[in-house]
Amino acid sequence: MSKSKLNFTRTTTDKLTVKAGVLSEDCSHIAYTDENDCEQVVRVADLLAAFKNQVIDFSVALKTDEDLELIGSDSEYDSEIDDSDEM
């Protein structure tokens, strides 16, 4: 007998997110600003305790902002725009 092509599965995902947190030098704490604009410091181990002895996917992202130079008026793109105005 073949397996049914109809499956019914309920998936529950527990997710922990700290936005714009700063990891301490020894990687044991994260400092962040809460919804009341108060700085909080929490131990990483305390955050992960709810997931103890569970299979997890672990992800960390590093976000950096960089100011970019504006292209000057002598660029090739600007000269193409100037040429198209003459038509």
Q: Is residue 59 part of a domain?
A: yes
Q: How many domains does the chain have?
A: 1
Q: Which domain holds residue 48?
A: 19-64
How do the pLDDT tens digits run along the chain, 87 residues long? 688 889 889 988 889 899 899 999 999 999 999 999 999 999 999 999 999 999 999 899 888 888 888 887 655 555 565 555 555
Spatial distance between the Cα atoms of 23 and 30, rounded to a whole number of angstroms: 5
Q: Is residue 37 part of a domain?
A: yes
Q: Is residue 35 in a domain?
A: yes
- DSSP E strands, 1-87: 22-23, 29-33, 39-43
Is the residue at 8 inside a domain? Answer: no
CA 19-36-21 angle, to 5 degrees, is 20
- Checking phi first, is residue 61 left (phi over 0); if not, alpha (psi -120 to 50) or beta? beta
